Structure 1
Amino acid sequence: MFKNSSSKFFVSIIIPIYNDEDVIPRLINEVLIHYKNSELYEVIFIDDKSSDNSIDILNKLLLNNSYSNYKLILNQKNIGASATRNVGCKNAKGDYVAFLDSDDAWHKDKINIQIKLMQQTNSFISGTCHAIISPNRLKTEIDTIYKEDQIHFTEIKWPSILFKSPFCTPSVVIHRSVLDKYKFNENFRYSEDYDFWVRSSYEFKTIKILKNLTFTFKHDYLSNSNSLSSNLYLMQKALTLVRFNLIKDQKYSIIYKILIITSIVFEYFKFSIRFFKKFKLKTSQLVINRNLK
């Protein structure tokens, strides 16, 4: 089993909440139970002006399960994911900050594994691989025991990060010193996480743990879109804006700026492939539905 980190640490777990009444019970009963009332953790919930019963359900579950190491912050208006995470970071007291979305989950030793490797490698940002699983596999995945020699990592470096986002937000743990200098860009509704990683990793050593320690249950949101290309287009637009902002920043060399431009071209190539795959899938579904009528 993976041993505890040799150095003491205090971690703030930041969880945005927005109309999540259906997933909050799993979050409290199956994921956060591993951090309940620990002196090493605080859990910060930030509700982004939910219109359902999320807060009532959350308060009831926290009370019934006798949680004490948590804060609940209520946004006065809906401000979006970036600003909500910034609110959480501002109120966090931890040496490290971990991000978790309400509908995602972690391996029970995830944070300890990450922080131990961060301390060993003098890294300031870390993420993990993640897997999409069915809810009935959650307990098995969470409780899997890993030996230390089973955990491997790679360093995330410039300029490779220009061509691919290294990890998803719920997998990330960040040292406090990074958040003292960088914030999530509140002008972005899409790709705000990639914008943060690409800017901060230029200055702070970043690693990725090559093990699925983060789990998601989300379906492909594009399949529920009223417009086939709407989300793809908005994501692509945001990714392009992230890179244009990098080009305008004087701290990057001419060589890096050429690579940034190259990454824009590469990203549009990937966008075209994703769009046509979705178009083909949507067309096939329409044909099948028509034949069934």
Structure 2
Amino acid sequence: MSDLVSIIMPSYNTAQYIAETIQSVINQSYQNWELIIVDDCSTDDTDIVVKKIKDSRIKYLRNEKNSGAAASRNRALRIANGRWVAFLDSDDLWKPEKLEKQIRFMTKKKYCFSYTDYEEIDADGNKTNIIVTGPKVITQTGMFNYCWPGCLTVMYDRKKIGLIQIEDIRKNNDYAMWLKICKKARCYLLDEVLAEYRRGRNGSISTHGYQELVKWHYRLFRFAEKENCFSSLINTVRNMIFGIYKKKKYVKKKMLEG
């Protein structure tokens, strides 16, 4: 377990959170990593915050114009050097043993695509006691049914998957990536909470309404997957149905002790 991990982190106006996020990477028990941050023309102090953190493993790039998370992730993936590729948004957090446990899981089982459970926190970092998991195995059909993995939990083996580049869509671009990868490999669940997802931050996808989500799902299938209008509509409806199923089966309230 000595291979380099490339951590892909798009950022936009997360000066309030990004230092804590980076620290969760620095705190990893697995230390052979590079963190590639691509800032999408933030208008806050994100660049100042990042530049104060002195670690040669951190690469900070800034887009010339605001281009969206898809373009930022594509840019980071093109310069990634690691065998393993992991994803972490600039306001989310990892548990200290996230990388070590996931790499051990994938190496032992000879998997090349995996994800883990995660816990939700609110905008201020307080625990909500909500745990999100998913299917043990996600096939290509299963991934088209719904976006089961949380972006902050995904890892894949670049030696086996190769370079992934996605279409320039503003939302659901992480899902677009999983749809490409699942055509090459199944995705396996490491059933352990190894990350914290910040829900409710202003501007995040979790704050948008149902109609917006439907529109973004349709655009994903229509433009990223290049399906015809009918297939895009069918897959969007299928996504909505499985979204309800996920909330019932895989989103759980953690029982408090005492």
Q: Same fold (TM over 0.5)?
A: yes
On the 8 A contact 1:243/1:264 being kept in 2, the answer is no
In structure 1, give the amino acid aligned to 2:239: E
| Correspondence for 1:266 | 238
| Correspondence for 1:18 | 12
SS of match in other structure, 2:14: coil
| Correspondence for 2:149 | 167
CA shift for structure 1 position 95: 0.8
Superimposed CA distance per residue, residues 205-228 of structure 1 (whole angstroms, 9 cap, x where no aligned partner): 321222221211221757855xx5
CA shift for structure 1 position 244: 6.0
- Whether 1:53 aligns to 2:9 is no
On the 8 A contact 2:77/2:163 being kept in 1, the answer is no
SS of match in other structure, 1:159: helix
Larger radius of gyration: 1
Aligned CA distance change for structure 1 residues 35 and 270 (closer, same or farther; 3 Å): closer
- Whether 1:180 aligns to 2:152 is no
- Hey, what's the Cα distance between the residues in 2 that align with 1:267 and 1:173? 23
SS of match in other structure, 2:65: coil
- Hey, what's the Cα distance between the residues in 2 that align with 1:113 and 1:242? 36
- Whether 1:97 aligns to 2:85 is yes
CA shift for structure 1 position 234: 2.5
Q: What's the Cα RMSD here?
A: 3.4
CA shift for structure 1 position 74: 1.6
| Correspondence for 1:144 | none
Compare the two structures and name the one with the higher helix fraction: 1
CA shift for structure 1 position 169: 1.2
| Correspondence for 2:3 | 9
On the 8 A contact 1:133/1:217 being kept in 2, the answer is yes
Superimposed CA distance per residue, residues 49-89 of structure 1 (whole angstroms, 9 cap, x where no aligned partner): 111111012112x13xxx22211112111111011011111
Superimposed CA distance per residue, residues 77-132 of structure 1 (whole angstroms, 9 cap, x where no aligned partner): 11110110111111111111111111001111111111111112222111112221
| Correspondence for 2:120 | 132
Aligned CA distance change for structure 1 residues 217 and 155 (closer, same or farther; 3 Å): same
Percent sequence identity over matched residues? 25
On the 8 A contact 1:129/1:214 being kept in 2, the answer is yes
- Hey, what's the Cα distance between the residues in 2 that align with 1:58 and 1:123? 33
On the 8 A contact 1:37/1:68 being kept in 2, the answer is no
SS of match in other structure, 1:245: coil
Superimposed CA distance per residue, residues 184-216 of structure 1 (whole angstroms, 9 cap, x where no aligned partner): 222x11222222212221222321222221211
In structure 2, give the amino acid aligned to 1:192: N
| Correspondence for 1:107 | 95
- The counterpart of 2:57, out of the listed 69, 74, 96, is 69
SS of match in other structure, 2:165: coil
Aligned CA distance change for structure 1 residues 241 and 51 (closer, same or farther; 3 Å): same
Aligned CA distance change for structure 1 residues 244 and 170 (closer, same or farther; 3 Å): closer
Aligned CA distance change for structure 1 residues 211 and 167 (closer, same or farther; 3 Å): same
Q: Unaligned regions of 5+ residues in structure 2, if any?
A: 129-133, 246-258
Calculate the TM-score normalised by the size of structure 1: 0.69
Calculate the TM-score normalised by the size of structure 2: 0.78
Aligned CA distance change for structure 1 residues 261 and 153 (closer, same or farther; 3 Å): closer
